[in-house]
Amino acid sequence: MLAPLRQALVKQVRSTFNDQAKGERPVVRSDHALFARDSIVCRVHGDVTSMMVGGIAALLTQMLHPQALGGVWDHSDVGTDMLGRLRRTARFIAVTTYGERDSAEEAIARVRHIHDHVVGVLPDGRVYRADDPALLAWVHVAGAMMFLDAWRRYGEPRMSRADQDLYFAQSGEIARRLGADPVPATRLEAERLIDEFRPQLRSDERSRSFRDMVLKAPPRSLGDMPVQRLLMRAAVDLMPEFARDLHGLRQPAVIAPAVRGATMGLAGTLRWAFAAEAYR
């Protein structure tokens, strides 16, 4: 009796993350992936809701670094195709976490090739390169922290510190293959690295425009609007305080329990829908 509802939810999520016009299909979990099926990174990256919340929070935090934002601003179509960018990021994570080893290595090589050609000059005259090891380190650590904290909030609140350390150690493998340096191997190292980057973060006209493009992106349909608004609010709630402050984002503290409760409900519903699926 509930099968049609479950199928409808799975179809909706898959259509969001897979560009059907390009023939994209969900990534199948492989026994020959870079990571074992029971690895911490597979556990964290396998939850739809927390990855969506963490992904939005990660993007907003990452783009506070002027060089990171410059590469996206000058060399991508993010202004006209936000969904496309989110799809590409989600697919890269899925392929490198769950896909065949050869497919994962091809995806990494493809991104490195793209980064090799992303070079530019910021409005203040500073040069940026997407293949800069330090810049890649910032993008990695900001993203990994948000994905992990979203999982802890909506999936595993009592996750041990040891497992959190393992997540950084395992997810760092992809960052190293992309050329990032330094790459934290524990949560403490990640927290310290983020603190080291904070003086480099800025809020300016570009970052404010990017913030609004993300948070005010039109939904694919009116039916998607309530869920999209909830995810955006949950992402802002998840972001570190310094990132919210730089973006000028403030939500009344009284709504946090409602946002978290509703997001937890969404997470539980989608886990139920995907319980029998072999795809991510």
pTM for the model stands at 0.94
Note down the domain range covering 95: 26-269
- Structural domain includes residue 21: no
Name every residue whose Cβ is closer than 8 Å to that of residue 134 and which is 6 or more positions away in sequence. Answer: 181
Calpha distance 180→70 (Å, rounded): 18
Is 66 contained in some domain?
yes
Percent of the chain with pLDDT over 70: 97
Rg (CA), the chain: 18
226 located within any domain:
yes
Through-space distance between the first and last CA atoms of the chain, rounded to whole angstroms: 24
Q: How many domains does the chain have?
A: 1
- What's residue 2's pLDDT? 61
Task: Evaluate if residue 277 carries a pLDDT over 70.
Answer: no
Measured between alpha carbons, how far is 39 from 55 in angstroms, rounded to an integer?
20
Specify which residues 128 forms β-bridges with. Answer: 120
Q: Is residue 46 part of a domain?
A: yes
The answer to whether residue 126 sits within a structural domain is yes
Work out the mean pLDDT of the chain and round it to a whole number.
Answer: 93
Least confident of 1-15, 66-80, 102-116, 255-269: 1-15
pLDDT in tens, 101-130: 999 999 999 999 999 999 999 999 999 999
- Give 43-56 pLDDT, tens digit per residue: 999 999 999 999 99
CA angle 143, 144, 146 (to 5 degrees): 65
- Classify residue 280: in a domain, yes or no: no
Q: For residue range 137-192, list pLDDT tens digits in order.
A: 999 999 999 999 999 999 999 999 999 999 999 999 999 999 999 999 999 999 99
**Residue-wise pLDDT tens digits, 35-87:** 999 999 999 999 999 999 999 999 999 999 999 999 999 998 777 777 778 88
| pLDDT tens-digit map of 190-249 | 999 999 999 999 999 999 999 999 999 888 877 789 999 999 999 999 999 999 999 999
38, part of any domain: yes
Q: Given this model, what pLDDT does residue 56 score? A: 96
Is residue 12 assigned to a domain? no
Distances (CA, A) of 217 to 57, 191, 213: 14, 30, 5
Residues 6 or more apart in contact with residue 22 via CB below 8 angstroms = none
